Amino acid sequence: MTYNKAYFQELIIEQIAGVISEEDSHLLEQAIQNDPRIKQLWDEMQQVLTSDKAQTFFNNIDENKAWNTIQPEIKPVRSIRHGWAGAIKWLSIAALLCVAFTAGYYWRQIPVNNLVAAKKNLKTPSIELRLANGEHINLSDTSKKVINMSFAHLKKGVNGLSYQVDNSKNEEWSTLLIPSKLNYRIVLSDGTQVWLNSVSSLRFPFSFLGKTREVYLTGEAFFKVAKNAAHPFIVHTGQTDVKVLGTEFNVNTYHADEIVTSLVEGSVSTSGGDKQKMLLQPGYQAVYTSGSGFRAQPFDPGVELAWMNDIYYFHNTKLHDISDVLLRWFDVKVVFDDPAKADEAFSGAIQKNKPIEVFIQNIKASAGVSALLKEGVLHIR
- Rounded to 5 degrees, φ, ψ at 199 are 50, 55
What whole-number distance in Å separates Cα of residue 277 and Cα of residue 164? Answer: 35
Taking the CA of residue 115 as centre, how many other CA atoms within 13 Å lie in the half-sphere pointing to its CB? 8
Q: Which of 204, 203, 251, 210 is nearest to 230 (CA)?
A: 210
Enumerate the domain spans of the chain.
5-121, 211-308, 310-380
Same fold, 211-308 and 310-380: no
What whole-number distance in Å separates Cα of residue 178 and Cα of residue 189? Answer: 20
310-380 CATH, one of 3.40.50.720, 3.55.50.30, 3.40.50.740, 3.90.1150.10: 3.55.50.30
Element of type H or E holding 187: strand 184-187
Cβ neighbours of residue 253 under 8 Å, at least 6 residues apart? Answer: 217, 218, 219, 220, 237, 238, 239, 259
State whether the Cα torsion 314-318-319-325 is positive or negative: negative
The answer to whether the CB of 7 falls within 8 A of the CB of 162 is yes
The answer to whether the CB of 266 falls within 8 A of the CB of 248 is yes
pTM value > 0.85: no
Angle at which helices 52-59 and 86-108 pack, to 10 degrees? 30
Secondary-structure class of domain 211-308 per CATH: mainly beta
What whole-number distance in Å separates Cα of residue 95 and Cα of residue 342? Answer: 45
Tens digits of pLDDT across the chain (381 residues): 556 677 787 788 778 766 677 767 777 888 888 888 888 888 888 777 666 655 555 555 443 444 344 334 433 333 444 333 333 344 444 444 443 343 333 333 334 444 333 333 345 689 999 999 899 999 988 777 888 888 889 998 877 999 988 866 778 899 999 999 999 999 999 999 999 999 999 999 999 998 999 999 999 999 999 999 999 999 999 899 999 988 999 999 999 889 999 999 999 999 997 778 999 999 999 999 988 899 999 999 999 999 999 999 998 899 999 999 999 999 999 999 999 999 988 888 999 988 999 899 888 877 678 899 998 899 998
Cβ neighbours of residue 265 under 8 Å, at least 6 residues apart? Answer: 247, 248, 249, 282
CB atoms within 10 A of CB 268: 28
CA dihedral 314, 316, 322, 324 (to 10 degrees): -100
